[in-house]
Structure 1
Amino acid sequence: MSHGDDFFVVPDLVFSAIEPGDDQRWSTWPSIIPSLRGPQPWPQWVVTSAGAIDTELGVLKSGKEADVFLIERAEPGGRSVLLAAKRYRGSETSDFRRSSQYTEGRRTRRSRDARALQKKSTYGRALSAGLWAGAEFSALSTLYQLGAPVPYPVQVDNTEVLMEFIGDGHVAAPRLAAVRADPRTITDLWAQVVELMRVFARAGFAHGDLSPYNLLVHAGRVMVIDVPQIVDIVSNPQGIELLERDCHNVCSWFLRHGVECDPAELAGELVAEAFGR
């Protein structure tokens, strides 16, 4: 062990005299239990150092249920990575819209928690925010391991999900709804959307709220986001209805951009995929 005015070193860890400043915090990675970290093997870009600092760089997206922030996680004088931090709100906002459609069949073990969720008390709303964050992390982890084009989920901590940032520099990738492209590119994007829906269906899932607003296009590749409400097509009584709505939403956009598609036909193919697994 060596000592100095600025730091002392122990194996694999440097404790710096520098403390996090405004809009900064120590990396929360060390305090996260292994089951709340992303699927292994971790991508090489994931920063796991206990000496790393998280710096908040601004808001990427504001929503009714959650806000998404741009975070830089950096080792002092070392590696750094940009992450998207999705933070679900607690008692100050309403629960996830139409949440009962998606959560049918989900249960909480503690009767106190169940009552709080039903009454939408302050505690219940905070609990709900944590449940939605956990649901999104779990869904991202499952879909990532299935090979679906989703951001890699780095970790979940209470009401915050940290995930791979999709974009160039500090600029987030555009949503499909904002894309203007030639017919050949649009046709390729359509093929990618159909394939990602097939990946979901083969595993028995529907996105449940799919639209051109939660599909990102980055470097020619479609990525799907906002997945906490993912539904099981078989066990959820409204699963097929939600799948059909997904098909209608994406087909409507592509039809307006010159791609021939039939939402009913697509839904039928996806249902067959789900029940044939």
Structure 2
Amino acid sequence: MRDHNFASPRRRRFDDDDPTFLKRLSHDFDTAWDASDAPSEDDDTYTTWDAPGVLHGPEPRPGWVVTELAARDAELGILKTGKEADVHLVERAVPGGRRTLLAAKRYRAAEHRMFHRDAGYLEGRRVRESRVTRAMAGRTSFGREAIAGQWAAAEFAALGQLWSLGVSVPYPVQLLGTELMLEFVGAPDGTAAPRLAQTRPSRPELESLWWQLVDGLRVLARAGVAHGDLSPYNLLVDGERLVFIDLPQIVDIVINPNGAEFLARDVSNVARWFAGKGFAVDPEPLVVELLHDAGVR
């Protein structure tokens, strides 16, 4: 991890620790995302890289990102189902040319979403228009749609910033409506990297994964943020590399009155898993260190 000085992004909430994982795998908003902006789910469509309203990931882009307008997107199946979003495997390929696999994270329609546990993550977060803030607080239909739009945009913004800072996260390729296209983390044949919870590392592997985790948490803390929902289910193991995923709920440790508690819970969750595998770690000193890095204590 590299040391950086940077402004922290806005923070948000998303819980997707759904155990039915199918083998794979800063913006302000005045209005809600319109679900009609999302691309169709046809089996084979032209690339949405240049679609109206699309946002692209940070530059310089990785060389594997396919930006050619002749490319086509082919649906290959569902990678993961969750309470608020599903993740699909998509191949973006230029006919007769290069191709890449992407994870398309699609937030559900407002009537199917579950926002009953998001209040703590929304503390200190505002949008420009007071009517939108009121709708979000009242959980009206429009408010739920605005919250959903924030989740997708929040994850896109967080991943872009953290990727630029050297944190091990999937590269955010693009955002269109409530669909987030991400780097697929796994093998070229479409086999996804397992979640940390699904692995059985050796002692040396446990030690390496733990210190990769600590390095990542330090970068987040220096940004003044915490993952907010960190667990062995929100970390992937790609070969020897630990990858942070599911970041729309990222919490501003300073602005959010519960920020320190979110950070402490993140560390305790993962430390408990490592201890259960025989690599005992004391979370308290790390929490103190991270809060100091964040400028809170």
Q: What TM-score range do you get, normalising by the shorter chain?
A: 0.7 to 0.9
> Residue 90 of structure 1 contacts residue 128 of structure 1 at CA under 8 Å; is this kept in 2?
no
Describe how 1:65-104 pairs up with structure 2 within 5 A: 65-96=84-115, 98-104=117-123
Describe how 1:74-223 pairs up with structure 2 within 5 A: 74-96=93-115, 98-168=117-187, 169-223=189-243
Once the two structures are overlaid, the 10-residue window that deviates more, 117-126 or 239-248, is 117-126
TM-score (norm 1): 0.88
> Residue 121 of structure 2 contacts residue 251 of structure 2 at CA under 8 Å; is this kept in 1?
yes
Q: Deviations over 1:154-211 (max 9, x none)?
A: 0111101101000112111000001112111111111111111111111111101000
Measure, in 2, the Cα distance between the counterparts of 1:22 and 1:133.
Answer: 21
Instruction: Name the structure, 1 or 2, with higher relative contact order (CA <8 Å, separation 6+).
Output: 2
Paired residues in the alignment total: 257
Of 51, 55, 58, the residue aligned with 1:39 is: 58
Q: Deviations over 1:99-156 (max 9, x none)?
A: 1211211112224433432333333333322211000000001111111000000011
Measure, in 1, the Cα distance between the counterparts of 2:142 and 2:259.
Answer: 29
Give the CA RMSD over aligned residues: 1.9
Measure, in 1, the Cα distance between the counterparts of 2:257 and 2:44.
Answer: 44
Amino acid at match of 1:264: E
The 3-state SS of whatever aligns with 1:167 is: coil
1:273 corresponds to which residue?
293
> Residues 165 and 21 (structure 1 numbering): CA distance in 2 closer, same or farther, change over 3 Å?
closer
Amino acid at match of 2:270: V
Measure, in 2, the Cα distance between the counterparts of 1:202 and 1:172.
Answer: 30
Measure, in 2, the Cα distance between the counterparts of 1:82 and 1:127.
Answer: 29
> Residue 243 of structure 1 contacts residue 267 of structure 1 at CA under 8 Å; is this kept in 2?
yes
- Following TM superposition, the consecutive aligned residue runs of length 4 or more in structure 1 with deviations greater than 6 angstroms are none
1:259 corresponds to which residue?
279
> Residues 230 and 97 (structure 1 numbering): CA distance in 2 closer, same or farther, change over 3 Å?
farther
1:5 corresponds to which residue?
none
> Residues 32 and 172 (structure 1 numbering): CA distance in 2 closer, same or farther, change over 3 Å?
farther
Q: Which has the higher strand share?
A: 1
2:12 corresponds to which residue?
none
Amino acid at match of 2:129: R
Amino acid at match of 1:66: A
TM-score (norm 2): 0.82
Higher Cα Rg: structure 1 or 2?
1
Structure 1 residues without counterparts, runs of 5 or longer: 1-19
Structure 2 residues without counterparts, runs of 5 or longer: 1-39
- Counting aligned pairs with the same residue, the percent is 54
Amino acid at match of 1:136: E
> Residues 76 and 95 (structure 1 numbering): CA distance in 2 closer, same or farther, change over 3 Å?
same
Amino acid at match of 1:271: L
Measure, in 1, the Cα distance between the counterparts of 2:138 and 2:258.
Answer: 24
> Residue 127 of structure 2 contacts residue 133 of structure 2 at CA under 8 Å; is this kept in 1?
yes
